[in-house]
Amino acid sequence: MKAIVYNKTHYEDIAIESLVRSYDHLCRKKCVRKKHLTSFQLIILGFAGVILLGSILLMLPVSSLEKMPTPFHEALFTATSAVCVTGLVVKDSGSYWSVFGQTVILALIQIGGFGVVTVAAAVSLLSGKKISLMQRSTMQDAISAPKVGGIVRLTRFILKGTFLIEAAGAMLLLPVFVSDYGLKGIWMAAFHSVSAFCNAGFDILGTADNAFPSLTGYSGNILINVVIMLLIITGGIGFLTWDDIYRNKMNFKRYRMQSKIILMTTVCLIVFPAFFFFACDLKNLPAGERLLAAMFQSVTTRTAGFNTIDISEMSEASKAVMILLMLIGGSPGSTAGGMKTTTFTVLILNAIATFRSQENAGAFGRRLEYHVIKNAATIAMLYFTLFFCGGVAISVYEGLPLLDCLYEAASAVGTVGLTLGVTPGLHVFSQVVLIILMYLGRVGGLTLIYAVLSGRNKGNAKLPLEKITVG
């Protein structure tokens, strides 16, 4: 009976994929007469539309505690940071924004974490509408799914899993926040649970006397630290990895190679930086709190943007390590940004294969395709270029130390949200630079490239080959 069901599902997936290919082929034929937006163009335009709508709502007097209109560039910065799940802010979220403003920010975080396309698909599913072939193809690109077959089932799984995890996180945070803030603690628990799972790094703990505190007041609270870390890790490993774990449970051998790489890389990028921070920094803290702070900072630096310590007091070596972690970011198809763990690992694997004079790079008994390595190199170059150019531009304009500006640029393009205290005092030009970096970092390198260059230079003709020496 199980075999029959499996075969049915399998053939349905094949049929759907065939229909999508046929649809795409027809669209290409019609493009001569009528211009169609590609799925990548829909993704970047969707994010831009939500950011603009969020900016308008945050500009309203009702969004601020003082009932005063917020300047457009500040509202735009906050909306971009929320939708791109970054966490960089120019106004303290706790002391400046009203409950309405905080609700708008939370909604933008949730939409940005899911992805605009996924949210649109969820609305269609809830309303009982059927998902078209074009919508299925766009959803596939939005969550980096390997195939279009089963995309609706995967979307339902993502929605259910997200709300269950966020609800569980809020319930675990509830005792601490209710104890400290009374009934207001319910809203705080829900807000920080969503913010942590979506890797946004927004907090509403600030006051007029203590702005931009993040989680520094809970540096020694084990429950807050552990729950926030688990939410960040869960949101950052990717929806497809969830699906793999859900289907195959603890049978690691049956996971996709992508899931294996994501999990192994995630563990390494948590353990080794944590050991570095513990050994080389944070020496003014007690041993137990020092270990907790090192682990928390290792987890949050790569994706979320919360902090339990004053980052500006850390050594330059630790800041450099944090810059690298921020650029790497989370995993594909997750709520996190950055160039992604798989990109980083593919480059490492390719380097190892080159050192060993091996023709093909691979891992876990599987070979990597050439175009995957090519894409990884392109994405890495794009992110490092954006990071460096953005940091230099801010440093030149503001007259600030280059390392501090590079740190802010890495935080923006990696959609992390950590800051050395520079961002709130930046001028409009530098804020615009960070807005661009956050937007490009969230939509993804390949999405941007395909959206801009779609349909161009698709000729099959090959140019004459000529050798060039590298290295």
pLDDT in tens, 214-262: 899 898 899 999 999 999 999 888 888 888 888 888 888 888 888 999 9
pLDDT value of residue 319: 93
Number of domains observed in the structure of the chain: 1
DSSP string, 394-430: HHHHHT--HHHHHHHHHHHHTT----SS-GGG--HHH
Residue 36 pLDDT > 70:
no
Angle at the Cα of 439 (from 437 to 441), degrees rounded to 5?
65
Confidence bin at 123 (pLDDT 50/70/90): low
In terms of Cβ atoms closer than 10 Å to its own Cβ (0-12, 13-18, 19+), residue 33 is: exposed
Is residue 342 domain-resident? yes
> Containing domain of residue 172, as a range?
38-452
pLDDT value of residue 60: 94
Is residue 367 domain-resident? yes
Helix, strand, coil abundance in the chain, percent, nearest 5: 70, 0, 30
pLDDT value of residue 3: 42
Is residue 17 domain-resident? no
Is residue 12 domain-resident? no
| Mean pLDDT across the chain | 83
Is residue 3 domain-resident? no
Q: Is-contact 306 205, C-beta < 8 A?
A: no
Is residue 193 domain-resident? yes
Length of the chain: 471
Mean pLDDT of all residues in 25-37: 50
pLDDT value of residue 397: 95
Structure tokens at 289: 């709190």
Residue 450 pLDDT > 50:
yes
Is residue 318 domain-resident? yes
Q: Is 367 helix (H, G, I), strand (E, B) or coil?
A: strand
The predicted-structure confidence for 73-115, as pLDDT tens digits, reads as follows 999 999 999 998 888 999 999 999 999 999 999 999 988 887 7
Confidence bin at 4 (pLDDT 50/70/90): very low
pTM here is 0.85
CA distances in angstroms from 32 to 36, 146, 205, listed in the order given? 10, 29, 55
pLDDT value of residue 250: 85
Is residue 120 domain-resident? yes
Q: Is-contact 196 306, C-beta < 8 A?
A: yes
